[in-house]
Amino acid sequence: MIFQEAFFILDFGCIFRIQILFMKAIVCNQFGLPSSLTYQEVENPSPKKGELLITVKACSVNFPDTLIIQGKYQFKPPFPFSPGSDVAGIIEAVGEEVKGFQIGDEVVGFIPFGGFAEKAIIPAKDCFPKPSGMSMVNASAFLLAYGTSFHALKDRAKLQEGETVLVLGASGGVGITAVELSKLMGAKVIAAASTDEKLALCKEFGADETINYTTENLKERVKELTNGKGVDVIYDPVGGDFSEQAFRSIAWKGRHLVIGFANGQIPKIPLNLPLLKGADIVGVFWGVFAQKEPQKSLQNIHQLLTWFAKGDIKPHIDATYSLDDAPKALEDMMDRKVKGKIVIDLEK
Ligand SMILES: NC(=O)c1ccc[n+]([C@@H]2O[C@H](COP(=O)([O-])OP(=O)(O)OC[C@H]3O[C@@H](n4cnc5c(N)ncnc54)[C@H](OP(=O)(O)O)[C@@H]3O)[C@@H](O)[C@H]2O)c1
């Protein structure tokens, strides 16, 4: 953190001096690719009513970060802004009317943007105490990925023990948690991804079967692996042509979970297909769920933290990057080089 002194000469001749605090941040000054981001000094944010200021220790990278800097996400923050939403750190200041948090507490939280910076503001309602046995890096890689997959499988698909789940993009940030959680919830898991190396990780995380969708036909392989019955649940963070191929392999009364469109194309599924299978196409939006149904979201997070404490689930951290290297982290994600999670580690 850097202090700078500013001098103001008031009308009546007296000199007024204030101290301004500055921090380092990755800043988006215009929409563009990661190479257009700058690493620069910006003024420290200060917490308003109901908010906390944290010293960021780690912020994981999520696919939406690659979209938000290009102006391709659901909302467009005003310039200048820092990307980064999944943060872990230490409370440095507490805004008015905040209850239950103190300066010095270690916390984890979710924000729409602002995490690739030395300090960040988090609404206290979106902040949780960090479990003592969890590192800052793991904590920052936890909420969005596990929160999304658990909400999708439990609340939206109503996954039952013994059902079969097909996970597309299965080695990705949310995909690998869907593999891990489906297995933990008693399902048979088919993991689909683009390389054998990515599929090997899925096996480690509990996949029973794997499909390399670069070299194998997705629909035919699913039929083979399910003896013609099809899959009960499809977890789809990829989109594009894979969505319809997968949907054509769904079982009677199956549920296709629409998670995201990492491949850049929003698919259009002919509506005769859900009719023929008595199947559902189910939207999933964890961030809005957490805002609209906070009690249910808290129960889910509590369950996930209990599983973490017991050693049943653990984020896979593929790599960590220093703050100034955040554009490289975003490029690696866009180039499909990442398995599991990558994290900006501010202690690096
Ligand atoms: N609905 C929600 O609440 C929610 C929450 C979090 C994330 N999401 C969405 O879920 C998707 C995945 O997010 P994530 O953070 O898990 O991303 P990620 O770690 O980059 O994983 C995405 C996976 O998609 C596959 N993929 C296929 N085509 C791709 C392409 N052209 N570029 C990049 N990846 C491609 C890759 O696997 P292969 O190489 O094996 O194909 C990759 O592992 C994103 O669309 C994100 O916006 C939605």
The residue-averaged pLDDT of 242-255 equals 98
Tokens found for residue 31 = 């929409």
* Alpha carbon separation from 262 to 67, 79, 116, 237, 243 (Å, rounded): 10, 25, 21, 6, 12
Rounded to whole angstroms, the Cα distance separating 11 from 246 reads 71
What is the number of the ligand 1 atom nearest to the C-alpha of 287?
3
Mutate to test the pocket of ligand 1, among 201, 238, 284, 317 (most ligand atoms within 8 A of CB): 238
Task: Give nearest CA residue, ligand 1 atom 28.
Answer: 263
Query: Is residue 333 in some structural domain?
Result: yes
Rounded to whole angstroms, the Cα distance separating 101 from 128 reads 9
**2 Cα to the center of ligand 1, angstroms:** 37
Rounded to whole angstroms, the Cα distance separating 152 from 167 reads 12
Rounded to whole angstroms, the Cα distance separating 174 from 340 reads 8
Indicate if 247 and 340 belong to the same structural domain: no
- Residue 17, pLDDT > 80, answer no
Count of alpha carbons within 13 Å of 182, Cβ hemisphere only?
35
Indicate if 130 and 208 belong to the same structural domain: no
Query: Is residue 135 in some structural domain?
Result: yes
Query: Is residue 278 in some structural domain?
Result: yes
Q: What is the CATH number of the domain that holds 32?
A: 3.90.180.10
Indicate if 189 and 280 belong to the same structural domain: yes
Query: Is residue 77 in some structural domain?
Result: yes
Query: Is residue 203 in some structural domain?
Result: yes
Indicate if 207 and 225 belong to the same structural domain: yes
**139 Cα to the center of ligand 1, angstroms:** 20
Tally of structural domains, the chain? 2
Query: Is residue 306 in some structural domain?
Result: no
Domain that holds residue 115: 2-141+317-345
Q: Residues enclosing ligand 1, CB less than 6 A?
A: 62-64, 144, 148, 169, 171-175, 193-194, 198, 237-238, 259-264, 284-287, 333, 336, 338
Q: What is the pLDDT of residues 139-158, one digit of tens each?
A: 999 999 999 999 999 999 99
Q: In what order do the strands lie in the sheet with 2-9?
A: 2-9, 15-27, 38-43
**164 Cα to the center of ligand 1, angstroms:** 21
**Inter-residue contact 201 to 212 (CB < 8 Å):** no
Query: Is residue 64 in some structural domain?
Result: yes
Task: Give nearest CA residue, ligand 1 atom 29.
Answer: 263
Indicate if 103 and 50 belong to the same structural domain: yes
In the 8-state DSSP scheme, what is residue 45?
P
Task: Write down the pLDDT at residue 20.
Answer: 75
Indicate if 217 and 276 belong to the same structural domain: yes
The residue-averaged pLDDT of 101-122 equals 97
Indicate if 152 and 137 belong to the same structural domain: no
The residue-averaged pLDDT of 328-348 equals 97
What is the number of the ligand 1 atom nearest to the C-alpha of 264?
31
Indicate if 160 and 131 belong to the same structural domain: no
**14 Cα to the center of ligand 1, angstroms:** 58
Task: Give nearest CA residue, ligand 1 atom 21.
Answer: 172
Q: What is the CATH number of the domain that holds 260?
A: 3.40.50.720
Indicate if 162 and 253 belong to the same structural domain: yes
The residue-averaged pLDDT of 242-251 equals 98
Rounded to whole angstroms, the Cα distance separating 172 from 337 reads 10
Bridge partners of 58, per DSSP, are 88, 345
- Residue 8, pLDDT > 50, answer no
Q: What is the mean pLDDT of the chain?
A: 95
Lowest-confidence region among 9-18, 86-95, 279-288: 9-18
The residue-averaged pLDDT of 77-96 equals 97
- Residue 244, pLDDT > 70, answer yes
Task: Give nearest CA residue, ligand 1 atom 36.
Answer: 169
Backbone angles phi, psi at 73, to 5 degrees: -95, 175
**226 Cα to the center of ligand 1, angstroms:** 25
What is the number of the ligand 1 atom nearest to the C-alpha of 194?
40
Q: What is the pLDDT of residues 43-72, one digit of tens each?
A: 999 999 999 999 999 999 999 999 999 999
Indicate if 282 and 235 belong to the same structural domain: yes
**213 Cα to the center of ligand 1, angstroms:** 15
187: nearest Cα among 234, 139, 124 = 234
What pTM was estimated for this model as a whole?
Answer: 0.94
What is the number of the ligand 1 atom nearest to the C-alpha of 340?
19
